[in-house]
């Protein structure tokens, strides 16, 4: 989230807070003893040069390595890699190097890949292959020939793009009961879920906390803003950029992570929240995030695989959040993918409801 010197006189100053999010899962095989966390710091630094960002801080526990980057975050687990970068970074350009490094750890088969982002506010300043979603898809298709690409939300207004590939699940033509039994078998995968809340038009007063003129350090901004209360069991690594901007990673002893990135400038304010925390119901979490940052509009996406607790409650959320809050839901879509379900919803503030 490192941003150039804020030049108030320069009307063209702009920072694209919207992140490009890449998540890749590799297949665990019995004979394979590798671990993506064995990849060395110099190897990651070299890989991130292709992305055009740097490591600025690092925390780890028994389950996950969490890197705070000059432009967002990277999370490395045994067989899962997550890279989230904003600005004009080029995360897709490091894919071939990542696949090489993974191969050295014995990972040669990808089970799932997700590349997603909200529409850019200023697509024209992005670098290739990120100049548009079609260019990104063409690039991804050159590496993963079976990917599928989606546009959620209204394609002439605001939307969220997703490219996804899952190793095909072979479903044979079987009598119903056998088929049901075979489907049960898919439950033997690890539960997994990811929630993202992408917020824009944020409250001016809330955003003040994420300026160096207000606080000297990340931890002060974290505590003042209430970020430390969102998921209290997370060990936090936070950073306040000069002159403004904020990033944090959190990890807990369940191997779960959270990450928040803030572009506070009023003209293009943007805050993203992401976590893979396992919850039965995400309504409370969404409400707390929204109360913390007070956006004018936001997008929620929830991915959950069939083993996840979130899987069954996604549809509950669909109903509950629209009736229990004073937000206007401008879009709501669900997608069923081979191993994951996705809920996408867009909200905008219809009344002043911070009371």
> Which residues make up each annotated binding site for substrate?
15, 71, 241, 265
Specify whether 72 is catalytic. yes
Q: How far is the CB of 345 from a copy of itself (least distance, A)?
A: 9
Residue of 86, 94, 159, 244 marked catalytic = 86
End-to-end CA distance of the chain: 31
Q: How far is the CB of 271 from a copy of itself (least distance, A)?
A: 23
Cβ nearer to a copy of itself, comparing 287 with 353: 353
**HEC profile of 141-185:** HHHCCCCEEEEEECCCCCEEEEEEEECCCCCCCCCHHHHHHHHHH
Q: To the nearest whole angstrom, how small is the minimum distance from the Cβ of residue 201 to a copy of itself?
A: 18
**Catalytic residue status for 50:** no
Residues 6+ apart with CB under 8 A from 18: 86, 117, 118, 119, 120, 121, 198, 270
**What does the radius of gyration of the chain's CA atoms come to, in whole angstroms?**
20
Toward a copy of itself, which CB reaches closer, 140 or 230? 140
- State the DSSP string of 51-91: HT--EEEEEE-SS-EEEEETTEEEEE-SSEEEEEE-TT--G
- In the structure encoding, which two tokens stand for residue 91, read together? 């995360």
Q: Which one of 53, 70, 72, 225 is the catalytic residue?
A: 72
Interior CA angle at 136 toward 134 and 138, to 5°? Answer: 70
Binding site feature residues: 15, 71, 241, 265
Q: Which residues contact a copy of itself by CB under 8 A?
A: 134, 137, 141, 147-151, 153-157, 171-173, 176, 179-180, 183, 315, 318, 323-324, 326, 328-329, 331-336, 350-351, 353
Q: How far is the CB of 332 from a copy of itself (least distance, A)?
A: 4
Nearer to a copy of itself, 9 or 177 (CB): 177
Place of tokens 């950073």: 239
Instruction: Given the residues 247, 269, 272, 275, select the one marked as catalytic.
Output: 247
Q: Among all residues, which ones are annotated catalytic?
A: 72, 86, 247, 261
């Amino acid at each position: 989230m490192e941003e150039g010197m804020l030049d108030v006189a320069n009307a063209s100053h702009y920072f694209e807070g919207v992140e490009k999010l890449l998540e890749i899962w590799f297949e665990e095989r019995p004979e394979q003893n590798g671990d993506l966390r064995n990849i060395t710091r110099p190897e990651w630094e070299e890989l991130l040069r292709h992305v055009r960002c740097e490591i600025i801080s690092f925390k780890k526990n028994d389950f996950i390595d969490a890197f705070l980057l000059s432009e967002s975050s990277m999370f490395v687990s045994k067989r899962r890699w997550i890279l989230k970068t904003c600005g004009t970074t080029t995360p897709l350009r490091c894919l071939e190097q990542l696949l090489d490094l993974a191969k050295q750890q014995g990972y040669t088969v990808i089970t799932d890949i997700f590349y997603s982002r909200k529409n850019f506010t200023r697509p024209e300043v992005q670098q290739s292959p990120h100049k548009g979603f079609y260019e990104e898809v063409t690039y991804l298709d050159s590496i993963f020939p079976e990917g599928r690409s989606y546009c959620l939300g209204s394609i002439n207004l605001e939307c969220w793009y997703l490219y996804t590939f899952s190793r095909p699940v072979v479903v044979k033509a079987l009598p119903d009961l056998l088929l049901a039994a075979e489907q049960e078998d898919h439950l033997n995968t690890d539960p997994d879920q990811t929630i993202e809340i992408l917020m824009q038009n944020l409250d001016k007063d809330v955003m003040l906390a994420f300026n160096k003129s207000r606080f000297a350090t990340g931890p002060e901004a974290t505590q003042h803003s209430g970020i430390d209360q969102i998921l209290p069991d997370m060990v936090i690594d936070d950073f306040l950029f000069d002159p403004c901007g904020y990033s944090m990673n959190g990890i807990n002893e369940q191997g779960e992570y959270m990450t928040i990135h803030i572009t506070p400038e009023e003209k293009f304010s943007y805050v993203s929240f992401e976590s893979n925390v396992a919850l039965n119901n995400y309504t409370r979490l969404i409400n707390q995030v929204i109360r913390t940052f007070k956006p004018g509009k936001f997008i929620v996406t929830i991915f959950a695989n069939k083993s996840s607790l979130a899987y069954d409650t996604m549809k509950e959320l669909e109903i509950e959040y629209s009736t229990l809050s004073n937000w206007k839901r401008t879009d709501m879509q669900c997608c069923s993918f081979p191993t994951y379900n996705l809920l996408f919803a867009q909200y905008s503030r219809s009344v002043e409801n911070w009371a």
